[in-house]
Structure 1
Amino acid sequence: MLKYKVIELSTVTDETIEKTLNSATPEGWRIENIHFTMRDASKRPSMAFLLFTRDEPEDG
């Protein structure tokens, strides 16, 4: 069964993204997508949502 995990980052820097990726991948999670939200007045993202998946055995 495919399981999903979404992690929200309110501070979006290369360091926070890297830390999140390095903490989730050893647990078997695979990054599928990163979605950035922007503010009108800034070119930098205000938030990021990282979507991960992993296969887990089905519960009987």
Structure 2
Amino acid sequence: MIDFLYKIIQESARLWMAMAPYLLLGMFIAGILHAFLGQSFLTRHLGGNGFSSILKS
């Protein structure tokens, strides 16, 4: 049982380390978009319920 829990923790840590660069890159890009475009621009272009909002995002 202890071995099973150890494997879960080990694999979770491995997965986190594999995902970390992509998560950081995504947060960096989101921060740049927020800084340069602003919330009103994003809401106006991506905030609708239509198909065009889905394509733009």
TM-score (norm 2): 0.28
Structure with max Cα Rg: 2
Q: Identify the structure with bigger relative contact order (alpha carbons < 8 Å, sequence gap 6+).
A: 1
Task: Give 1 or 2: higher helix fraction.
Answer: 2
TM-score (norm 1): 0.27
Task: Give 1 or 2: higher strand fraction.
Answer: 1
